[in-house]
Amino acid sequence: MNSTSPSSTKIIPETDIIPRHVAIIMDGNGRWAKSRSLPRIIGHKNGIEAVRTAVKACIERGINYLTLFAFSSENWRRPTEEVSYLMQLFITVLQQEVIKLHENGIRFKVIGDLTKFEPEIIKFIRNGEEMTAANTRLTLTIAANYGGRWDIVQAIRKMHVQNSKLIKNFVEEDLSKHFAMNYAPEPDLFIRTGGEQRISNFLLWDLAYTELYFTNILWPDFNAGSLDLAIQSYQQRERRFGRTSEQLQE
């Protein structure tokens, strides 16, 4: 997507047995809680531990980018109490964890429409991003109030601001440099827990050639072994990027 990681539709990317970038829809918190006769919010609380586990497991496996869908632009449609709880949880976890991420050499990023967040939260996020900007062990991106369609619209707006004459004849790169994930290579592996097989408005542009993996495991139960199963599935895929299988054998 950026100068170091060209678009998969322009240049065939180099691939490795370990995905460089894993993007996850962390789904199933509510059902996890329901199956234990607990309130949905307890499922969200328990999902935090699964996030810590996933971060650690990605580092141990040499994955460079982990992108987690935490709250979608459509999740505002949920009951007010659940939305407020999720927001509070997000803020609490941010305040507890950003320093720890930094100490562990992790670069922290947040993508999404932050305009709905309190100014202090936005400041806290931007400070955390600045503080961790030079870290190279893992880039952890949290998608908060993120929507793939929002991302495309905001990129077009930025492109227009930069050069309004360009709009008529723009090419892929003119637009892609404004996407929220312009600092990362496109995801190699997409994981969705919770059994649903849909994208739910996650990284619409970026997932063009990503390998998709769906599992029935509910997010709070996701662990290092679950990640390994996803990676094993990924390793069996033939990433053709439009070519034939025979061409890959050459």
In sequence order, the β-bridge partners of residue 212 are 190
Per CB under 5 A, 27 contacts Mg ion: yes
Task: Give, as ranges, the residues between 43 and 102 that touch ligand IPE (CB under 6 A).
Answer: 69-72, 75, 86
**Count H helices, E strands: the chain?**
8, 6
DSSP string, 120-156: HHHHHHHHHHHHHTT--SEEEEEEEEE-HHHHHHHHH
Per CB under 6 A, 194 contacts ligand IPE: yes
The helix (H) or strand (E) run that includes residue 57 is helix 40-60
Detail the DSSP E strand segments found in 36-171.
65-72, 106-111, 138-146
Residue 160 and residue 167 in contact, taking contact as beta carbons nearer than 8 Å: yes
* Gap between the Cα atoms of 223 and 191, Å rounded: 13
Per CB under 6 A, 31 contacts ligand IPE: yes
Q: Rounded to an integer, what is the distance from CA 185 to the centroid of its chain?
A: 12
Q: Please identify which of the residues 27, 151, 188, 206 carries the catalytic annotation.
A: 27
Task: Give, as ranges, the residues between 110 and 129 that touch ligand IPE (CB under 6 A).
Answer: none
Q: Is 75 a catalytic residue?
A: yes
Per CB under 6 A, 27 contacts ligand IPE: yes
Closer Cβ to ligand IPE, 19 or 30, answer by number: 30
Q: Please identify which of the residues 2, 64, 75, 223 carries the catalytic annotation.
A: 75
Residue from 1, 25, 58, 203 in contact with ligand IPE (CB under 6 A): 25
SS3 199: coil
Q: Is 169 a catalytic residue?
A: no
* Gap between the Cα atoms of 58 and 149, Å rounded: 28
Per CB under 6 A, 198 contacts ligand IPE: yes
* Gap between the Cα atoms of 126 and 168, Å rounded: 33
Taking CB positions, which residue lies at the least distance from ligand IPE? 30
Per CB under 6 A, 26 contacts ligand IPE: yes
SS3 193: coil
Per CB under 6 A, 141 contacts ligand IPE: no
Closer Cβ to ligand IPE, 31 or 45, answer by number: 31
Shortest CB 37 distance to ligand IPE, Å: 14
Closer Cβ to ligand IPE, 15 or 200, answer by number: 200
Active site residues: 27, 75
Q: Residues in the site for Mg ion, rule: CB under 5 A?
A: 27
List of residues contacting ligand IPE (CB under 6 A): 25-31, 69-72, 75, 86, 194, 196, 198, 200
